[in-house]
Chains A and B, each alone.
Chain A
Amino acid sequence: MIGTTTRTALRAGIPLWLLVFIALIVLPVLSEPFRSANNANSLMASLAPLLLVSAGQAVVVLLGGIDLSVGGIVGLGTVLVATPAVPGWVAAVLALAVGVAAGLVNGLGVLAGVPALVMTLGMSGVLGGIGLLVLAEPGGQVSRGLLAVLTLQAYPVPLAFVVAVAALAVAWTAVSWTRWGRVVLATGHDPVAARRTGLPWRSATLRAYALSGLFSGMAGLAVVARTYSGDSLSGGSLILDSITVVLIAGIALTGGQGSVLTVLPAAAVLGLLQNLIVLSGLDSYYQYIVEAVVLVIAVALYEASGKRPAFLARGG
């Protein structure tokens, strides 16, 4: 059974779902290249890292924080996997462990009073730098066995995409139906009250950042599944993209408001836009302009519809 708060949060995402469904019906009819299985395959493969990073970002934002270290974790993950000195499987586990560890350190820093923006920005720099020290130029070599697993697919559906959607579903369930999730929402809404009420906000904070780190580590593997190589800077665009997705999904940057599940259609909108720009042969730089405009329009629509409180809402 779906609780009232969860239902309210989901309702705000209905227009996005409709938009994606309509696009998925209309676009194949209009566009010959869009219809191809190859395009679907590449679309889903490119969505996998975005979904993973955005799902983690959504949880952190719901808690009232922000995670700018996602790009660094993704980048370092790809570098670790592409380092021949480390056996493939060990490297993959290491990439995930680095993600979790970075997330935990982020959480500890935030608990110690460092603003999330500063803490995670610092973490991003540290991880990115380490990645560049290990592998200065994009490239490296990914072990054949690991690559075979990462690129598994039930054509045209890549395994990475399925895992990403599953991870997002787990995050959504955890936020909506566990005690931890309630503490995340409460802390995001009013951290002072959460502390005063004696809620376990510390462990909730640590877990939220650790989750975001883990998902970013997984996103690193999903990136390798597309590029077959390591690049410390490959996660850079995911930082702002994930925040864009979270905002399009109607999750308030002020915390406590929104649904992780809506990240799915929001990421799909972004992925479809990028895909269309590529297919139409436009200069790919147009994608920045279009994304920015879509973001501003989406946030303006949310504010206008009152589906979530304005940034300067009175009381509550």
Chain B
Amino acid sequence: MADRTAVPGPCRLVCESISKTFGGTVAVRDVSLSLAAGEVLALVGENGAGKSTLMNVIAGAVRPDSGQVLVDGTRLSHGPQAARGAGIAMVHQELSLFGNLTVAENVLLGAEPVTGPLIGERALRETAAKILDDLGIHLDPDAGVARLSPGQRQLVEIAKAVATQPKVLILDEPTSSLESTQVDVLHALVVRLARRGTGIVFVSHRMNELFRFCTKVAVLRGGELAEEGDLADYSHDRLISAMVGRDVSDLYPARTDAAGRTDPVLALREVSGHGLHDITLDVVPGRVTGIAGLEGHGQSAIAEVLAGVRAPTSGQVLVAGAPTRLNSPAKAIAAGVGYVPSDRRTAGLALALSVAENMALVGGAGIRGRFWFRPRRQAAAVREVAARLALRSSSTGQAVGELSGGNQQKVLFGRWLLRADLRVLVLDDPTRGVDVGAREEIFGLLRELTARGVAVVLVSTDIQELLGMADDIVVIYEGRITGTVPGGDATEERVLALAMGQEVPA
């Protein structure tokens, strides 16, 4: 529970009828909000509901068409620097750490202790160490940020925001790359800041965390403020209904029993390397093979080996029973293996190119043309898939970088739907930063694929997702398989226990 006993103080943050239109699309319409000192506000909504725009307006990164933002009663002028000066700190979902600098340098960037013009390196390191200690974050201040895990980077990013002693702290999906112990650290930190009177805006797609961290809730739908109130008055179901605007019975489609064919289409035999040890794994057509594990335990490496991004140092990869050297993504694609990487912005998409270009990238001669590029054939194929995905974009010619996270993920999906010869689809954390509605659609598509006989490998740090989707859950701990649990009768406790390296009697 967050600090619900705090007496609501004066309004830290007030948004007065904020509106913002991009091109022809209304992103935010006439939204008014207030946040008292010590309150933790859950800002929720589907992708494209206007959360990001509203947060960016508050943080000064986007200038609203009308309306204003007040901090402690003072009107905010435009610009990130003005917002920062007024006491607003934002932790973006896309991290803004600098990999060429150390942890300490990042935490105190722009606010380094100086004597005259010169930075005091010792003071810098000590101040940063103290801030990290205070927050319960155990990291070497001298460590290079480029070498940290995503979860550790997220914590550094949060420490950087807290170091400015903000009056208003905006956390955008702060837990998406955190392990459960790191989430505990964050929770303790949020409670402490709220007690000190910081107003906190918390954005997350994880229900449990919203209820754990927040005291108030504001629901955005289609750019407008749909509901707001005390979070205590809401149940999980009511909150999801409020976001979607309709009743949601079950996020996960029913399992269909397609266990008729059992010959694995893709298999690993005692594969080691890249942090993996003796991984033996069968990927069977028509089934969703879930791979569970806490962040950084090697599950992404398995996805990369299956997709040909990395070749194992020992062991075999079998394609339809035959040992194959899958040492490049091109070979994997030729073998019918598609891959949706976890970091879609840097590893999956060409952000500057259009939706159509991104989708057709691996579409093959049938779609792009054998020698001459066939724009009409490509456009027709892409339009069909875009419609099936319920892709929200102004046209298939729109640049992918302009889409929301969930829609970017759909484009990556669409890429493989365009390939008729797809036999295996490997997905690494496909729903990170994707809202409930789009999740539901993605899960539906995965079931459609398995019904077609495609084998799906789903790597995820979200155990709920694996419980809902996977036919088998393979659990990884420190690069080894600690157990395989049938999806139907798996429990969160059992998977978590295996993922934390505990021996569990079958």
Contacts and interface: CB of A to CB of B under 8 A. Distances in A.
Contacts of A194: 96, 98
B347 interface: yes
A314 B112 CA distance: 29
Contacts of A197: 80, 96, 109-110
B101 A195 contact: no
A188 B121 CA distance: 21
B109 A186 contact: yes
Interface string B77-108: 00111011000000010011111111011000
A198 B99 CA distance: 17
B105 A3 contact: yes
B96 A179 contact: no
A198 B124 contact: no
A182 B120 CA distance: 13
Interface in A220-274: 256-257
A193 B97 contact: yes
Nearest to B99: A316
B343 interface: yes
B131 interface: no
A193 B98 contact: yes
B501 interface: no
Interface residues of A, number: 32
A207 interface: no
A3 B124 contact: yes
Contact of B101 (A1, A5, A200, A315): A5
A178 interface: yes
A144 interface: no
Contacts of B92: 196
B352 interface: no
A58 B118 CA distance: 20
B346 interface: yes
A183 B110 contact: yes
B159 to A, nearest CB: 14
A286 interface: no
Interface in B136-154: 142, 144-146
A179 B112 contact: yes
Contacts of A189: 98-101
Contact of B102 (A5, A179, A196, A314): A5
Nearest to A199: B110
A178 B117 contact: yes
A177 interface: yes
A309 interface: yes
Contact of A185 (B101, B117, B120, B124): B101
Given A182-B112, A256-B100, A3 B83 contact: no
Interface in B462-485: none
B298 to A, nearest CB: 17
Interface string A155-187: 000000000000000000110011100110110
Contact of B96 (A4, A183, A193): A193
Contacts of A174: 117
B114 interface: yes
Given A5-B102, A186-B101, A179 B119 contact: yes
A291 interface: no
A43 to B, nearest CB: 33
Given A198-B79, A199-B110, 5 more contacts: A2-B121, A185-B100, A188-B100, A189-B100, A190-B98
Interface of A: 1-5, 8, 173-174, 177-179, 182-183, 185-186, 188-190, 193-200, 256-257, 309, 314-316
List 3 A-B pairs, minimum CB-CB distance, nearest first: A198-B80, A316-B99, A193-B96
Interface of B: 60-61, 79-81, 83-84, 92, 95-102, 104-105, 109-110, 112, 114, 117-122, 124-125, 142, 144-146, 343, 346-347
24 contacts: A4-B105, A4-B142, A4-B144, A5-B102, A173-B118, A177-B121, A178-B119, A179-B110, A185-B98, A185-B100, A189-B101, A193-B95, A194-B96, A194-B98, A196-B80, A196-B92, A196-B96, A198-B84, A198-B110, A199-B109, A309-B146, A314-B347, A316-B99, A316-B145
